[in-house]
A and B are shown apart, each in its own frame.
Chain A
C-alpha cells in the first residue's frame, strides 16, 4: 500500500525558514517523480515544485522560485521541501504527491499525503 506522510509544518515568522519532509513507502521510491502541492486556507490547489526520480531535474512555480528547494534522499525514501524567506502568502497546507508518467507524455498525481500545515505569521 502506498503511503506518504508529511511532517515539519508549523508556525514560522515572516522571513523565516522551514523544512518539510515526506516519508514514502509501498512503492519503489527512486523510480517515481514526486511533487509538492499546496492549498491556502479556503482556496484551491497550487502546484509548488516537482523533482525527477533520480533528483537530477527539479521544477518550481514562479511564486517560490529562488526561495524553495526541493530535494530527495532515495536511500531514505524521503522527499524534502526547504522553504526560505517565507511570506504570509506561503501559509497553506502542503501536500506531497507521487507522480505517474506515461510514455505518451501525460502525467498525474496518483497518491497524496495527508498534508502538513505551514503558517507564516508574526
Chain B
C-alpha cells in the first residue's frame, strides 16, 4: 500500500498569511495526487487534481505542485473561510489512500 504523509499535522496562521502544506508518498505516484478541504461536520470538498490543476469554482489563491513523491498545497493569502483540515489523496493504485490531514487553525 502507498503511504501518504502530510506535514505539518496542524498549523496556526493569520488571515493574509501564505500557507504551505506538504504531502509525501511512500513511492512514486507520478502526478496522481488530489487535495481536499474539510470543515467540521461537513463532507470533504474537492480542491485540486493531478497535483496542480484547480477544480472548477475553487479560488485561485489555492495552488498545488509536485510530482513523483513530494507535493505541496499552497494558499497564497489565507482567508477566514480557509480554516479547515486539508487532506491529500493518491489515485495511483488501490487501495486509494489519504494523508492523515493538516488542520489549519486561526492564530
Contacts and interface: CB of A to CB of B under 8 A. Distances in A.
Interface residues of B, number: 26
A59 interface: yes
A108 B50 CA distance: 9
Q: Which of A37, A44, A104, A115 has the most chain B CB within a 10 Å cutoff?
A: A44
Given A44-B99, A44-B100, A50-B96, A107 B46 contact: no
Contacts of A104: 50
B91 interface: yes
Nearest to B31: A106
Interface string A30-74: 000001010000001111001000000001011000000000000
Given A44-B87, A44-B99, A95-B44, A108 B94 contact: no
Q: Is the interface of A mostly helix, strand, loop or mixed?
A: strand
Contacts of B100: 44
Interface in B45-81: 45-46, 49-50, 55
Contacts of B99: 44
Contacts of B95: 47, 59, 61-62
B96 A47 contact: yes
B98 interface: yes
Contacts of B98: 44-47
Contacts of A110: 46, 55
Q: Which of B31, B89, B100 has the most chain A CB within a 10 Å cutoff?
A: B89
A47 B97 contact: yes
Q: Which of B46, B96, B100 has the most chain A CB within a 10 Å cutoff?
A: B96
A45 B102 CA distance: 12
Interface in A80-120: 95, 100, 102, 104-115
A111 B94 contact: no
A53 to B, nearest CB: 16
Contact of B44 (A45, A59, A102, A107): A45
A117 B98 CA distance: 20
A104 B92 CA distance: 11
Given A45-B89, A114-B43, 4 more contacts: A106-B91, A107-B91, A109-B44, A114-B42
